[in-house]
């Protein structure tokens, strides 16, 4: 399970993502556990997965 750390402000864009219900449910669990939004939890997980070498990622396992 992922733990989400505080957000840093950077430029953002809006995108729509279609997710399988089971995946959305897991992301929702992470967001509730970390008292944050679904979107923030999803972005945090993606950043940790795509940029694991960055020490300042939002996610901490």
Domain parsing of the chain, residue ranges: 15-60
pLDDT at 50 over 90: yes
Give residues with Cβ within 8 angstroms of 2, minimum separation 6.
30, 34, 41, 44, 45, 48, 59, 60, 61
pLDDT tens sequence across 13-29: 899 999 999 999 999 99
The model's pTM: 0.71
Give dist(CA 5, CA 57) in Å, integer: 8
């Amino acid at each position: 399970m992922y733990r989400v750390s505080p957000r840093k402000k950077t430029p953002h864009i809006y995108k729509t993502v279609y997710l399988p219900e089971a995946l959305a449910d897991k992301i929702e669990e992470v967001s509730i556990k970390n008292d944050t939004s679904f979107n923030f939890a999803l972005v945090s997980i993606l950043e940790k997965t795509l940029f694991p070498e960055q020490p300042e990622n939002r996610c901490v396992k």
